[in-house]
Amino acid sequence: MNDSKPGLEHYDVKVLLALTKSIAGRTDFFRWLVEGHYPELAAFSNAIRGDEDAMVWLFQNQYAWLAILSNAIDGEQKARAWISKACQPVNIMFALACGEDHNAIRWLAERKLDIFIMMAREAHKFLEYQAAENAGPYVMHFGGSYRAAEAMREWMKSQQNDTETIEK
């Protein structure tokens, strides 16, 4: 395994369990992540839950890969392509599993990466809830997140060598 690539697999399983609970909305685990020196994972859990400020923070604080992973979870194809190239395979499989991709779930299960399956289930539950909440007849849709997109553009400018990879 190439340890120079960023990825969730570098975190201890206890930390990933706390992340799973934070994704599920447990504020006590969110606080534990922040106080336990994992603010990037706290921000990532909020980014999955649609927090624009968390996305901006990730891009501005050397954790762009987590912001892009959040976008990959949301199904953005360019984000998925970037994660596939820039991170270990477990990260793209996790993103796909969040959308209940059965091949990705099987891939994780075959490798006994149960914590990633648990995280994906929690993310999927929240995303399903969010989709139902945003589908009502009285919900206004204003398009994409301008601040998060701007933070991503700034990050891309700072990554001169990686920019071409992201845009492909």
13: exposed, middle or buried (C-beta count within 10 Å: 0-12, 13-18, 19+)? Answer: exposed
The model's pLDDT over 81-138, given as tens digits with 9 standing for 90+, comes to 999 999 999 999 999 999 999 999 999 999 999 999 999 999 999 888 776 666 655 5
| Residue, of 159 and 136, whose pLDDT is higher | 159
CA distance 55 to 149: 9
With bands split at pLDDT 50, 70 and 90, how would you rate the model's confidence at 168? very low
The model's pLDDT over 13-32, given as tens digits with 9 standing for 90+, comes to 999 999 999 999 999 999 99
Helical pair 89-97 and 102-110, crossing angle rounded to 10 deg = 130
The model's pLDDT over 59-92, given as tens digits with 9 standing for 90+, comes to 999 999 999 999 999 999 999 999 999 999 999 9
Q: What are the CA-CA distances from residue 33 to residues 8, 51, 109, 158 (Å)? A: 14, 16, 26, 27
Please choose, from the candidates 118, 91, 154, 59, the residue with its C-alpha nearest in 3D space to the C-alpha of residue 67. Answer: 59
Q: Retrieve residue 155's tokens.
A: 């990050």
Arithmetic mean of pLDDT over the chain: 88
Q: Percent of the chain at pLDDT above 90?
A: 71
Look at residue 152 in the predicted model and tell me its pLDDT: 74
Rounded to two decimals, the pTM is 0.82
